[in-house]
Amino acid sequence: MSAARRPVALVTGGRRGIGRAACVALARKGFDILAADIAEEGVAETGAEVRMAGGGFRFRPLDVSRLEDHAAFLDAAWEDGGIDCLVNNAGVGALRRGDLLDVSPDSWDRAFGINARGSFFLTQAVARRMIEAGDPAAPRSIVFVSSANATLASPDRGEYCASKAAVSMLARVFALRLAEHGIAVHEVRPGVIRTDLTAPVAEAYTRRIAEGLSPIRRWGEAEDVGRAIALLASGELTFTTGDALHIDGGLHVGRL
């Protein structure tokens, strides 16, 4: 990586949880951080951790589902030097877990609007600018954070599963499109991770993990996912694109 300019990583949903862990891990890998989120609660804490890890930190508000806001956000980012890595981490679950037959259009549209539609069009806009910028001084990459539910079905949150399956496909189609421009595209597929999203069902998951839900019998932590994102973004894996990296304690491994 260039000594004159630290590469910049844009992390959506970057103020807490997996987003914060990704920001800190990327800073340790030599990135400065541009964090984006819909709220500012937790931003100061994230910034402090990033700076302690050696990275510069900026925050700008962004709701990825508001496509009309993408251009101005990216204009400002490129005025500050551009983006070398995009981490599509912003995401939401179902409005409520429950019977698949009771899923509402609002919950479906919210899951797809943020998880899939917002990520697709933000990636499209960032990729165009990366290509226009020409040869980079640092490795360029795009990372999609999907979920074990991209392949493992949970009928109590079907809209979330469907949206994350879509995210998984986005990683593959963008990998094919952008390989010729030297932009690697990766998918990180977390399993049961201790975050605000899993807090309402923490007791049930703790019991299931103890019973052998995943071969590695512990909760995943946000830092586990953050380190995986940073490794992929670092450019150290130079002959891979379009793959899914499972950070799930072996949950995805089929057993007979």
C-beta separation of 109 from 163 below 8 A: no
122: its two tokens: 């933000």
Reading the block at residue 241, the tokens are 């694109």
- Output the six-digit token pair for 237: 């894996």
Six-digit token pair at 151? Answer: 């392949």
Residue burial 231-249, b: 16+ Cβ < 10 Å; e: rest: bbbbbebeeebbbbbbbbb
Is 160 annotated as catalytic? yes
CA distances from 94 to 40, 154, 172, 188 (A): 22, 11, 24, 20
Give the DSSP letter of residue 75. Answer: H
Which of these is catalytic: 112, 160, 174, 219?
160
User: Which are the catalytic amino acids?
Assistant: 160
